[in-house]
Structure formats: C-alpha cells, structure tokens
Amino acid sequence: MLDLTKTSPRNWLAFELNVLRRLKFQSAALPLCHTPALGLYLKRWDIRVAANDPLQSAWTKGVAEILNNGERLSADEVNVVLEDAYVPRYKLNNQALRNWFNETDSWWFDNVRQNIDRLQTPVSRAVAATIAMAAGDYVRTFTDDTMELRQPLSNVFRRLWTIQPEPVNNGQNNTCQNRNVDDFLAESRVDLMFLRLPPLHGQTHRSSHNRVAWREEWLRGGNDFWDAFDADQAGKLGMLTETKSQYLHLLERTFAIAGHIKTWAIAHLEDGSLSTQDVVDTIGRTRKVEAIYTKDFSELTGTKAVIITA
C-alpha cells in the first residue's frame, strides 16, 4: 500500500511541464486536479483548462485559481469573512472541527465558514475558502510545544490575503468541476487529457486523504458525508481497490471513456505497488503508446516519476 506521508509529492511540476511542452494542444482536461499549480501554468501558455476533482476542497482551489481569470478579494470582503470570527455561539454548527482543532480555533473556522457564504460570487467564496484552508494548514503545523509561536488565525488570514498572487487571465473559458473522473471525462471536449494516476490503496477516502480530510469536513459542514462519497466513487478510478487487477480494470474502463480525446499524458508514480509496464499494457489495449518519460528520484524518495504519452 502506498503511504503518501513517506513518499514523494503527488506531482512533479517541472517534469510534467517539460513533457507537456513537447505536445501540441490548445485545451486540456485535468481529471484529478488535487492542486491547481499545473492548471495555472497551462493558463500562462494560453491553454483552455478544464479541471476536476472529486474532493470539494480541491475543486474549491481550482475555482479560485483556474476558473478565476481576474477576481480578487476586496478589503471589505475580508472584513465580512473575519467578522466576529472568534465569538462563540450556543454551539458549533460543525462539531467535526473539534477532531482537528482546539475549541478556540474551531469557533474561528465555524464562523468563517458561515461568513464566506455571505460573499456575493462563487469565485470570491472560493478564494476566501482557499485562504482559510491555507490558514488551517498553517495552524496544523504547530504542536503543543510550539503553539506559543503561532499567530492568531485572523492575522494569518489577512497576511495570506495580502500575498495572494494576481489571478492569471488567459482569455479562455476555463472550467472546474466536482465530479468523479469517468463522468467528467465522458463530457470533456479537449485536445489533451493529463491524468495523474491515483495511488493503489485499500483504504476509505477519509483514510487515504487523512492529511487533507479536515478541509473536506470544514467545507461540507461535518463528517457524515464520507460513506456517500465512497459510494459515489464505487466502480470508478480512485475507489478503494484491494488488488492490482481490480485497479487496472478500473483504469482500462477510464481509458475507454476517454477514447475521444486525441492526446493522453498519463502521470504515474512508480513506488512498487504498480509498475510502469502494467500501465503501458493497459493503455496499449486502447491505443498505441507514443513515448515514456521518466525522472528517477529513487535515491531521495524511493520512487520514480513516469509520464506516458499516447
């Protein structure tokens, strides 16, 4: 089983961009867009980007940075988000926050989440939520021994807001969706599919996304959605898979659904659970493999980054 806490990052941006520069395309689908970094770079190349991720937290970041061509939070909107952020009410709307934060921080996130819903546009709400998630990641880096060194959350939010980069405007109608991979690909009309293969795992989504599960529970207002989330992913790439053969069957099905897309770039992290040859053979049952690019980081992380084009 892949342990994401002990291996390399899910993507190698410089390596991915180097490979993509060799391909000809004007539009790209990113079916599993855990972070918006690649989509942002493609926007700088004037590529129309269609991003997707089943996680609402990843989708929210995509709306803030990929779909967004120019909207920034104003000072007045920041004031709305932070209004009475530390004022406790009768009870928390989202009791699941206490699994991740102390009582004071839980009140802050509970109040800020409700305040964000008062903003006027979907993009402004996504930008504010993205900043708040970054503030939460900041808080979670501290231990009981270092807690005295951290800043108040409202100060952190304002600081992060001031250093937000300018939105990238590529003059394109970029889109972001929050669907399972197969449904997204079936309706994607693009030149290129860039698919980062999810790890082969036998865990529930809450367990496999443990480091970011708090973001999902904060955005969704609780933790009672995970069973329904797993059910929605059943039979699709990314679901709990006990065996390699089951994973490859799901992958082959996804490739069949994406058959209308002219060019594929499949990013794979070779960590021992799934070989590059397994992926190549699965692609080969649908279309011809054009090239295989590798970047060996085995001495540093025990993994190798691979991108297969077809």
pLDDT value for 299: 58
Q: 38 pLDDT exceeds 80?
A: yes
Q: Which of 15-19, 247-251, 270-274 has the lowest mean pLDDT?
A: 270-274
Q: 11 pLDDT exceeds 60?
A: no
Q: What is the mean pLDDT of residues 95-108?
A: 95
* Cα–Cα nearest to 278, from 259, 241, 299, 306: 306
Ramachandran area for residue 39 (φ above 0: left; ψ -120 to 50: alpha; else beta):
alpha
| CB of 252 closer than 8 Å to CB of 258 | no
pLDDT value for 236: 83
pLDDT, tens digit, 9 for 90 and up, residues 162-212: 999 999 999 999 999 999 999 999 999 999 999 999 887 655 556 555 678
pLDDT value for 298: 63
Comparison of pLDDT for 199 and 98, the residue scoring more = 98
What is the DSSP code (8-state) at residue 198?
A: P
Q: What is the mean pLDDT of residues 55-74?
A: 96
Q: Which of 129-133, 173-177, 293-297 has the lowest mean pLDDT?
A: 293-297
In Å, how far are 102, 145, 154, 216, 223 from 142, measured between CA atoms? 12, 8, 16, 20, 23
pLDDT value for 288: 96
Model confidence at 229, pLDDT cuts 50, 70, 90, reads confident
pLDDT value for 25: 97
pLDDT value for 3: 37
Q: Which structure tokens are listed for 193? A: 């599919």
Stated pTM of the model: 0.91
Q: Which of 93-102, 225-234, 235-244 has the lowest mean pLDDT?
A: 235-244
| Mean pLDDT for the chain overall | 90
pLDDT value for 4: 38
In Å, how far are 5, 49, 93 from 223, measured between CA atoms? 22, 31, 12
Q: Which structure tokens are listed for 83? A: 């209004």
pLDDT, tens digit, 9 for 90 and up, residues 235-254: 888 777 778 899 999 999 99
In Å, how far are 100, 103, 158, 218, 252 from 214, measured between CA atoms? 7, 15, 21, 6, 32
Q: 31 pLDDT exceeds 70?
A: yes
Q: 2 pLDDT exceeds 90?
A: no
